[in-house]
Amino acid sequence: MPDHGAPDFSNWSCPLPLRDYPTIVMGHGGGGKLGNELVEYLFLPAFRNPALENLGDAAVFELGPGRLAMSTDSFVVQPLFFPGGSIGELAVNGTVNDLAVSGADPKFLSASFILEEGFPLAQLAAIVNAMAEAAAKAGVRIVTGDTKVVERGHGDGCYINTAGVGALRQNISVGPAQAQVGDVVLVSGTIGDHGMAIMSVREGLEFESQIRSDCAALNGMIADVLDAVGTSVHTMRDPTRGGLASTLNEIATASNVGIEIDEAKVPVRGEVQSACELLGLDPVYVANEGKAVFFIAPEAADRALDILHGHPLGRDAARIGVVTTQHPRMLVARTAMGSNRVIATQIGEQLPRIC
């Protein structure tokens, strides 16, 4: 897969024999022969695993004893392909990460596609292959799925829903309401990369070095942290839509505590900061797809930070703040000027300013 924006499909060899149609037609969602061909030539070879190959109405699998975690997410990103990934990786990693930050080991995923009539099969194949690669990397299996087709003009090419099931780890108890006064706040790397990668493509912004999405499965990195200091971890979240600010505000509210961060310690890539300045946005509100925040008992924080630094996805991890009894349910930042400011939750999406 090329590194920039939309891949070049001119030399793409589609694993699906193109039969009669190089694009999705209504019949692909009709439950007939065309739909079966999509399954047989595209989905099965890409996702191949025993639970899927039954092709029953439901996947059947065993998950051992203990409690389970389940999560679902829908993906409607535009553009479908962007620097650092595609809707395919996002759909797998998004659900994997939601399970991982809940303290579960992600195991099985479902994948549902809503395709727009006329969507190129070659692009669908690229997306499906990206999902298969991401699933293999994250160690999860895609065991059931569905495809529907909507008329041209009723969709944005391709929407994907994934749901996932994971086994909760023993002796781990994490949740948004469990942050404790004195906890140290860690973030696993630079913030705002995904949101600004998407924005730069949409707005045609170019910088000296290209901004790439941080889209990645976090379950391996999180497992390392939990293996080492699991009982000291109180809260984990992946700061996706609404960015770091929204995630920390949610935790402050759910745990009824105050959170203080040191603005200068929050890692932001130079090119992401530049793009934000240009568009009048604040990186703390920009989406991430491969970052986690940890609320950890202070005595375990250094160890956790060492573990993060030793993982390829956590090299830029940083200690950014603490949990306090003051200003409950609020996020306060110490600015570089030495003053304090409240970081509130945004109402909707950030709006670019006039000047």
Evaluate whether 248 touches 345 at the Cβ level (below 8 Å).
Answer: no
Binding residue for another protein, selected from 27, 250, 274, 316, defined by CB under 8 A = 274
Alpha-carbon distance values, 66 to 72, 164, 228, 336 (Å): 20, 16, 21, 47
> How far apart, in whole angstroms, are the C-alpha atoms of residue 334 and residue 275?
23
Query: What burial letters (b/e) apply to 321-354, b meaning 16+ CB within 10 Å?
Result: bbbbeeeeebbbbbeeeeeeeebeebeeebeeee
> How far apart, in whole angstroms, are the C-alpha atoms of residue 165 and residue 69?
6
- 171 vs 336, which CB is nearer to another protein? 336
> How far apart, in whole angstroms, are the C-alpha atoms of residue 192 and residue 283?
5
Q: Is 209 in the site for another protein (CB under 8 A)?
A: no
Q: Is 347 in the site for another protein (CB under 8 A)?
A: yes
Q: Is 11 in the site for another protein (CB under 8 A)?
A: no
Region binding another protein by CB under 8 A among candidate stretches 102-110, 125-133, 287-295, 339-347: 339-347
Region binding another protein by CB under 8 A among candidate stretches 24-32, 53-61, 118-126, 318-326: 318-326
Evaluate whether 209 touches 270 at the Cβ level (below 8 Å).
Answer: no
Number of residues that bind another protein (CB under 8 A): 35
Q: Is 116 in the site for another protein (CB under 8 A)?
A: no
Q: Is 30 in the site for another protein (CB under 8 A)?
A: no
Residues 188-207 that bind another protein (CB under 8 A): 203
Region binding another protein by CB under 8 A among candidate stretches 164-172, 227-235, 248-256, 340-348: 340-348
Give which of 177, 175, 174 is closest to 329, Cα–Cα.
Answer: 177
Q: Is 339 in the site for another protein (CB under 8 A)?
A: yes
In this structure, what is the dihedral angle of CA atoms 25, 30, 34, 40, given to the nearest 10 degrees? 120
Query: What burial letters (b/e) apply to 204-216, b meaning 16+ CB within 10 Å?
Result: eeeeeeebbbbbb
Give which of 219, 223, 193 is closest to 304, Cα–Cα.
Answer: 223
Binding residue for another protein, selected from 258, 267, 283, 290, defined by CB under 8 A = 258
Q: How far is the CB of 219 from another protein (least distance, A)?
A: 33
Q: Is 151 in the site for another protein (CB under 8 A)?
A: no
Region at 328 (left for phi over 0; alpha for psi -120 to 50; beta for the rest) = beta
Q: Is 352 in the site for another protein (CB under 8 A)?
A: yes
Q: Is 256 in the site for another protein (CB under 8 A)?
A: no
Q: Is 76 in the site for another protein (CB under 8 A)?
A: no
Region binding another protein by CB under 8 A among candidate stretches 26-34, 72-80, 101-109, 324-332: 324-332
SS3 for 194? helix
Binding residue for another protein, selected from 76, 172, 279, 297, defined by CB under 8 A = 279
Evaluate whether 307 touches 222 at the Cβ level (below 8 Å).
Answer: no
> How far apart, in whole angstroms, are the C-alpha atoms of residue 105 and residue 280?
39
Q: Is 68 in the site for another protein (CB under 8 A)?
A: no
My answer on whether omega of the bond before 106 falls inside 30° of 0, hence cis, is no
Q: How far is the CB of 175 from another protein (least distance, A)?
A: 24
Region binding another protein by CB under 8 A among candidate stretches 118-126, 129-137, 308-316, 341-349: 341-349
Binding residue for another protein, selected from 6, 324, 328, 329, defined by CB under 8 A = 324
Q: Is 173 in the site for another protein (CB under 8 A)?
A: no
Residues that bind another protein (CB under 8 A): 203, 258, 260, 262, 264, 270, 273-274, 277, 279-280, 322, 324, 326-327, 330, 332, 334-344, 347-348, 351-355
